[in-house]
Amino acid sequence: MKMQLGEIASAVSAQNDTSAWNEIEVSSVAFDSRHLSAGALFVPLEGERDGHEFVQNAGKNGAVATLWKADHGEAPADLPVLVVDDPLAALQALSQHYLLKINPKVVAVTGSNGKTTTKDMVAAILATHFNVTKTMDNFNNEIGVPVTILSMEPNTEVLVIEMGMDRPGQLDFLSRLVEPDVAIITMIGEAHIEFFGTRDKIADAKLEITHGLKEDGTFIYDGDEPLLVERAKQVSQRQLTFGRQESDDMYALNVKGTDTQTTFFANEWPDQEMTVPMIGDYNVNNALAALSVAKLYRIAPQASAGAFTNLNLTENRAEWVQGSAGERILSDVYNSNPTAVKEVMAAFSAVATNGKRRVVLGDMLELGDQSDSLHASLETVFDSKLVSDVYLVGPHMKALYTALLDRFDQAHLHLYGTDEQAKLITQLKSDLTPEDIVLIKGSHGIHLENVLAALQ
């Protein structure tokens, strides 16, 4: 990003006279005053703390200008200020202005599971032929999407945007903000069911990603999901499906997996083996969604295969790391929901080991009134012949603990409160041997990344 303050003032409809500062050059935006680059425009957002309290700190750290909410009284005099009604709305308006200015193709990705991995795969494939910018980390909401847009280099040809949601209307807003050329829904699960009640309503909300889809755009979705097949009838744009059935436009053949990679062939290119450097058959569907984009942009199968081989994945999504005792740890601590747990448990339980398989699971959040029953439902994926010890963390995991009492004795089944991580870490360090493998998975709010760090 590189814009003069006068252009920014016009894009955000600044209310004050900015003519004295019009030629100041802005090279980035930031909403955290502690982490910004010299030349940044500071955006003071209101959350647990009011960002306006940190404007002076932003200036000390290199910000060259700041937004300022009109109802917050007199703005500071020692930093150029753009007075606006709402700094967040101004950030969004600025991102839309910049998006139109750079004018890349836009690929938007959502889904209950797999959206981050699919985003990474799509970006890797497209980067074999285009200059690509993609969503970093978890910047996938009303703040993160605009910040991602504004991080684009001027030569960006394709923008790959991940879109998250936790309420109806959120994807409608984000889709209309970016007006994607391609909209992808990876799958429908139970994530955020607390806010929606049913998978049907989750599917309705996910379909909002098509609301801003360009008229000549393409909708790509899981053709094996009846909830999406039915709703796709509402979408007039071109459609491509992926999945495991021959009725899908892109489907997988001859899927094989190990603990570190999964190989398959796609029907479109039956002579080209694809290797994804990830555990789990479920990641094949994410790859098929990415290959659907490859087909759309006429990228050769050899290039796609090479992109998969050299895939640069976002951290903490089912990645193997080494523990300090020599054990191998499958880290999947960013997020969790019932579908994701069942998928990764199936893959983990099949991994060969000379030691023991140990599973650490934290509460799955945002499941509402169905939380305890959904936690208990995970009982079906545990086989005491394959998994030695189970360590459960959080109040909702008590339901799974109770369900597993028939499968595991209490010496191998452990339950901890969210404030008992130190006790869990001590127990794990006592139990682990260099030959063991460990799965650690939970919703981010349970902070099992602390357990992971302690074991490393």
Binding residues for ATP: 111-117
Q: Measure the CA–CA gap between 394 and 417, rounded to whole angstroms.
A: 5
Q: Measure the CA–CA gap between 221 and 201, rounded to whole angstroms.
A: 17
DSSP 5: H
DSSP 330: E
Distances (CA, A) of 192 to 137, 258, 369, 374, 385: 19, 31, 11, 12, 33
Q: Measure the CA–CA gap between 260 and 358, rounded to whole angstroms.
A: 18
**Residue positions in the annotated binding site?**
111-117
Estimate the crossing angle of helix 283-296 against helix 301-309, to 10 degrees: 140
Apex CA 243: angle with CA 242 and CA 249, to 5°? 40
CA end-to-end distance (rounded Å), the chain: 38
**37 CB-near residues (< 8 Å, 6+ apart):** 27, 28, 30, 62
Structure tokens at 97: 């202005």
- Name the burial class of residue 238, with classes exposed (0-12), middle (13-18) and buried (19+) by CB atoms within 10 angstroms of its CB: middle
What is the distance of C-alpha 92 from the center of its chain? 20
